[in-house]
Amino acid sequence: MLAVFGDKTYRRLFAAQVVALIGTGLLTVALGLLAYDLAGPNAGAVLGTALTIKMLAYVGLAPVINALVARWPKKRVLIGADLIRAAMALSLPFITDVWQIYVVIFLLQAASATFTPAFQSLIPSILTDERDYTRALSLSRLAHDMEALVSPVIAALLLTLISYNNLFIGTVAGFLFSALMIAITVLPRVETAAGPVTSLWHRTTLGARIFWRNQRLRSLLALNLAVAAPTALVLVNTVVYVRDVLHRPDTDLALALACFGVGSMIVALTAPRVLDRFGDRAVMLTGAALIPLGLAGATTLTVLGVGSAGWVWLLGLWFLLGAGNSAILTPSSRLLREASTEETRPYVFTAQFSLSHACYILTYPLAGWVGAAAGLGRAAAALTFIGMIGAAGAFVSWPRHPAAVPLESESEERSDEQPARASTQSDA
């Protein structure tokens, strides 16, 4: 897996990704403490609203921003997004009112909605060999899982020495480091359309239209829904399981979340070999089958899970849900790569970024609001139903034989558009 680090371009971009992720993790901790300082007992409502704003920015702005910057050099887009994120993080220690948090978070996440799809769509152009690209996807999944585990530990250690406001400086440093790594890296030449060829609306909806016309990508839409259900349950309600259902101490919250992360990491580590042997369909649909089982177990736990046996059961279920999620998320970009051309790739990756986060707008309220109003059992049951719908949709829509799936080309998408002349740009 580590062989991909022999590519200097990828090595620098991966370093940028890891450091920026750690900075984002510090931001999460510091933002929670800032919200408590400003809102006291209502901090949860503030953070919930901020999370909703984040998802809305991801869903609504990502396709539009990508369409606007589609012809810009990738390097300028990535560096500009990092600098905006750094500026927004730097402003957070000076916030005095809750509404200011919402404005800053919106602008910061709008920049992230620009950076992330552009960054992800660039990697296939760097690692053109499929095996190397699969290894890179596994490393990316590991980086996200490690961020979830390592960043809170780093934040806890730093808080013994400095105030939480200084954690935002770590976030700024992470984004600036990311911008520096991108600035000193020679990025590959990328094809782009020349001349005034298509409308903003065409470019904004291009990725979604490719999704709809490709059977495997329609299956990925269903898989996105399946992934959103356990993610919402774990992130929103683990604390309720630990404290109210199983009556465990606060320290066990970290252990339960770690089990979810460890399940994901193990699958990510083994993904290159497993995918080579069994292929995307078998691996991803296996993850889709595991998720409803894990969610059903979590629903049962709200009724039966008391005592040490319930605690062990919870850890096992969270491990299973993490593994199921990773079995879907790790290889998902392989489908995007196969279904896109060099020119359409940014639009397809942006569509996946936007559509996958749209699922969380459904599952986060189910996990939080239904759990608070009707009880954890009903929230878990509702998410189990969502997971079953996603899994069933994936099984039905994904064809068994790859040859039956025509991959969309830009020429097909442009059948009613003015023909484009191809040109190339260098992000050196």
**pLDDT of 425 over the 80 cut:** no
In a domain, 199, yes or no: no
Tokens representing 4?
């991909």
> What does the pLDDT average to over 17-41?
82
Q: What is the CATH number of the domain that holds 61?
A: 1.20.1250.20
416 lies in some domain: no
Give me the DSSP letters along 327-344: HHHHHHHHHHHHT--TTT
Distance CA 342, CA 121 (A): 9
Confidence check: pLDDT of 226 > 50: yes
Same domain, yes or no, for 130 and 263? no
pLDDT 10s digits, 313-345: 999 999 999 999 999 999 999 999 998 888 888
Cα(369)–Cα(365) distance, integer angstroms: 5
> What is the pLDDT, as a whole number, of residue 164?
81
Question: Are residues 175 and 249 located together in one domain of the fold?
Answer: no
Provide the sign of the torsion angle of the four alpha carbons 219, 264, 359, 414, taken in this order: negative
Beta bridge partners of 421: 194
Whether 224 is in a domain gets the answer yes
Task: Kindly state whether residues 175 and 227 are assigned to the same domain.
Answer: no
Same domain (yes/no): 177, 237: no
Range of the domain at 243: 206-395
Average pLDDT over residues 91-102: 89
Which pLDDT score is estimated for 44?
60
pLDDT band at 206 (very low <50, low <70, confident <90, very high): confident
pLDDT at 120 over 60: yes
Q: Are residues 210 and 179 in the same domain?
A: no
Q: Are residues 253 and 360 in the same domain?
A: yes
**Residue 401 belongs to some domain of the structure:** no
CA atoms 356, 357, 362, 365: torsion sign? positive
Question: How many domains in the chain?
Answer: 2
417 falls within a domain: no
Q: Is residue 159 part of a domain?
A: yes
Question: What tens digit of pLDDT does each residue of 58-86 get?
Answer: 888 888 888 888 778 889 999 999 999 99
Is residue 422 domain-resident? no
Integer CA distances (angstroms), 312 to 148, 315, 362, in order:
22, 5, 29
139, pLDDT greater than 60: yes
Residue 182 has pLDDT above 60, yes or no: yes
**Looking at per-residue confidence, does 307 or 242 come out higher?**
242
Pair 32, 147 in one domain: yes
* pLDDT at position 146 over 90: no
For the cut 70, the answer to whether the pLDDT of residue 265 exceeds it is: yes
Q: Is residue 144 part of a domain?
A: yes
- 3-state SS of the chain: helix, strand, coil percent to 5? 85, 5, 15
Which of the listed residues 152, 185, 218 is the one where a domain comes to its end?
185
Are residues 69 and 217 located together in one domain of the fold? no
- pLDDT for 45 equals 67
